[in-house]
Structure 1
Amino acid sequence: MLLFILSYLGGLLTILSPCILPVLPFVFAKADQPFRKSGLPLLVGMALTFAAFSGLAVLGGIWAVQLNQWGRWLAIILLTIFGLSLIFPQFFERFYEPFNKLGAKLTTSVGKEPSVFHSVVLGAATGLLWAPCAGPILGLILTGAATQESPMESVWFLFAYALGAATSLMLALVAGGKFLNSMKKTLPMERKIKAGLGVAVLAGVVIIVFNLDRTILTQISKLQTEKWESYLVEVFRPAKPLSKSQGGETSELISRITPNLQGGTKWFNSPTLVLGELRGKVVLIDFWTYSCINCLRTLPYIKAWHEKYKDMGLVIIGVHTPEFAFEKDPLNVAKAIEDLKITYPVVMDNDYQIWNTFENNYWPAHYFIDRKGVIRAYHHGEGKYEASEKVIQDLLKEDGSEEMDSKLVQVEAKGVAAPAQFKDIKTPETYVGFRRAENRRLQPYLKQNQEETYVPVSPIYSNEWTMAGTWLIEEDSALLTKPGGRIHFKYHARDLHLVLGPKEPGAKIRFKVTIDGKPPGKDRGLDVDANGFGTVTENRLYQLIRQSPEKEVKERTFEIEFLDSGVQAFAFTFG
């Protein structure tokens, strides 16, 4: 919806561009006729034609990304024609001369009796005059978004853009000839602007030829919409999105009254705790969830602090706020707490009530509370463990209590909890469900909440993934409904994890992974053997790849094949 609004606003501003000049004479030809029978049908015809014609540019961009090499060459030819038509006016004028003549003929044939049909056709011809100027660039900008959705969604964005432009032209139509005269002052710049746009289109062709479009077009889309979309999100939906964090600064003392812990659905390792009854204690609130790799890598430090400082007045409370539905199950959480050997109190926050009272937005997140019940510092994400521990020590010392060992804990985390190699992580956390999925390449296009048989797209490029087999893609996960389904991912990191689980409790789903087409061998993760075989038995994070330390971390192609149906795939994470 936000992109639709942004497209409309972009079209609304089209009136400020010299590209609109070829259109204005036809629009103002209707200025002295009834708007309902003349001006309005013209604008509707123009918007429809523009959306259809410039939609070819978007489809060309989609062909460039979604289809095979034949489709890419079709896209190259189409975009090259668009670009040349803007750079070389002679070609532009000859190619569109029939539409100019048609427009002129229709303008003079209407006479005194306005005709809705003639006005719509005139608008259609006008839209064809306008589309080559605005259409190709708009198509290139939207290609990054279009690769993630169906073609029709992108055409709807174009229609919103055209509708916005039609609105601005309607205002110009009401303003009359004075506006046209003022716009003519910019006429000398029009040809230069068109040529510049044409060069940009041809540059896009070069990008496609050299396979750079996978990343560059996506970035173009983000550059054009990110700022305004973020602004609109803040205006219409002030709450910040949930997110995970890879690190952040431990804050200075902030002296904020601590929220309460009301809303917890179940407590582990402790009866229900009330912060008001913990006055005199230093409290560390740790927001986490058991399938979050960032949280799992933080846990060794949380547990070490608990062991060292629990008898000195530190109380650690883990607030388990779920990301996926299976993390709301008390049995799953209880097993995770046991497997992870967590002995400090943990409260389930299934309804996000504690999360919201702390105005939290991150997994993991740590809030440090002094003996008077005031938040004195906080930290989002992994890292900064030394600074966090020093905050704990300072808060414990504030009441003038006994001297403590100021040495910091020494942690040697292993397995999944081992520290990430952030310098080598060039692939972001990637969700499989349709609500947050990015960089997917599916053929046919994604069918939300519908069973569909997908075929793998080849080749895939950096940070892209594709799938094969019969899947039901839901909001937060993808369910394999027939055996033999596969997921391919081109990634760059030392570790690759995938959050998986059986749809039916107790089911065992066999799988096999390969890296660059071969069994992982020494690059296997904790949950697979050297030949790449493993079994999904419960809902959790599975470590599938950990590249051996003697190897250089580089871009690799990962594949997982599920030998049985019934598995749910949620999210890829990296380390």
Structure 2
Amino acid sequence: MVLPLLAYLAGLLTILSPCILPVLPFLFSRVGHSFRRSALPLLAGMALTFAATGSLAALGGGWVVQAHQWGRMAALAALALFGLALLWPALAEVLSQPLVKLGAGLSRRSDRAQQRGEAVGASALLGVAVGLLWAPCAGPILGLILTGAVLQAGSTGTALLLLAYGLGAATSLAVALLASDRLAAALKRTRGAGLWMRRGLGAAALAAVGVSALGLEQASLAGWALADTNRLEQALLSRIPAADPGGTSAPAISRLPVLGTLPPFPKRATWLNSPPLSRDQLWGKVVLVDIWTYSCINCLRTLPHVRAWASKYKDHGLVVIGVHTPEFAFEHDLGNVRAAVRRLGLTYPVVIDNDFAIWKSFRNTYWPSFYFIDGQGRIRHRHFGEGAYDTSERTIQELLREAGQKDVPTGLVRP
């Protein structure tokens, strides 16, 4: 019972993370409507769809990737229509005529539909669309759940954990929605405020759809932070006995221990920005392995430092290798990864780890994770998550000096 509770608590914390922002326009479109008939079906649809897509992603088959891609496109189209309906009531009436019969009208002016119970289906459909697009920030707890889902090929247990996470997020959003009802009631007493609120939500919904369609939602939100949810989740995990994920504390820089050896890269792995690299080719080089994925906000926040280190030390014996291990089904698509690598300005080698082979060889459990390897192929330091950038760069400098490099640059990058 401990892990399901932790999953639920981690879901509750998502309201403090920037990943929830694209969901809010669609959620607050339910303000002023019946919570039971309108908001609750939306939140339930969102939680169930997130759990289903997360579980399917663990299967990793090509058909799952394609199904998720088509599902996301259909969801974008539906949410775009919903945003347009909020902006133009006349369009809402046109759209709602054929859809009300199916219980999926897009119009917020659904008092009569609510009386007949038809708004339940409309809100649930909206929740399904939101759930297909929602990609929450992968803190330590969600990282463990998704890792378990992949390694256990999408078991019932991991599906239930994903559902617990989704229900936690739905709970915190429900509280926010109930608190907003009072504000909505006050605005309704102001002449014209309801119309402008509706149009504002429509514009926000269309903006969210546009950002998602361009694949920019995580990058555009990476600079936002309402609270350090990773630290809160790590505090929760530390209260239960758990397998050591490989050590999270940084050892003293002057006495870097040997923590293992660099495992071999799969021979048939796909590499971007480089021909395949082997351990023999890397002998004598200092290697920084960054296990990341392109929709992870925590990963994106570390990339400015990783890019800066790769540029600063590339002529002094450092090789940076990004290991792209996907969280969600759409991240298995090689075209999506190529586009993200190009968009993010990554010029160092990136190896595709769709089957989690490299992840498992490092016994990894987090996104992002950094492994620092010396010139003899030994892992000398590890760091998980954001932060500790000064310690990481000093580790690189020390390992370069150990490898016999002369005139190693000093100072620390400030990207």
- TM-score above 0.5: no
Choose 1 or 2 for highest CA Rg.
Answer: 1
For normalisation by structure 1, the TM-score amounts to: 0.30
Higher relative contact order (CA 8 A, sep 6+): 2
Could you say which structure has the higher helix fraction?
A: 2
Could you say which structure has the higher strand fraction?
A: 1
For normalisation by structure 2, the TM-score amounts to: 0.41
